[in-house]
Amino acid sequence: MIIVSLTSWPKRIFNVPIVLKNILNGTLKPDYIELNLYSEEFPNKEDDLPKELLEIEKLNINIKSSILC
């Protein structure tokens, strides 16, 4: 099983969709991707995330965004 865990912050969150696309286009596909975000840096939760990232999350690829406490 291949699990990818990422953590990001506001200044880099717009790079995450590019990173995820590259991971998903790789030779070995992950079974699960988890994106960890600190809640104080993303107080509006999904409203603070780029639309491109939300579109990737809608695909059936087992991506979970956890906004940490």
Q: What pLDDT does residue 57 have?
A: 76
Q: What pLDDT does residue 23 have?
A: 92
pLDDT tens, 12-69? 999 999 999 999 899 998 888 888 888 889 999 889 999 998 888 777 566 666 666 5
Please state the pTM of the whole predicted model: 0.80
Q: What pLDDT does residue 27 have?
A: 94
Q: What pLDDT does residue 39 have?
A: 85
Q: What pLDDT does residue 31 have?
A: 87
Q: What single string gives the DSSP state of each residue in 15-65?
A: GHHHHHHHHHTSSSPPSEEEEEEETTT-TTGGGGS-HHHHHHHHSSS-EEE
CA-CA distances (angstroms) from residue 54 to 13, 27, 28, 36?
11, 24, 23, 14
